[in-house]
Amino acid sequence: MYKLQHFLKLACLSLLLCLSACSDLNDKFINTDLTGLDYAKDFALTDHNGKARSLADFKGKAVVIFFGYTQCPDVCPTTMAEMASVMKLLGNDAEKVQVLFVTVDPERDTQALLSAYVPTFDPRFLGLSGDQAATVKVAKEFKVYYQKAAGKTADSYTMDHTAGSYVFDPQGRIRLFLKHGQGAEPIAHDLKILLK
DSSP structure string for the chain: -HHHHHHHHHHHHHHHHHHHHHHHHHTS-SSEE-TT-S------EEETTS-EE-GGGGTTSEEEEEEE-TT-SSHHHHHHHHHHHHHHHHGGGGGGEEEEEEES-TTT--HHHHHHHGGGT-TT-EEEE--HHHHHHHHHHTT--EEEE--SSTT--EEEE---EEEE-TTS-EEEEEPTTS-HHHHHHHHHHHH-
22 is in an annotated binding site: no
161 is in an annotated binding site: yes
12 is in an annotated binding site: no
Q: Which residues are annotated as a binding site for Cu cation?
A: 72, 76, 161
Bind-site residues: 72, 76, 161
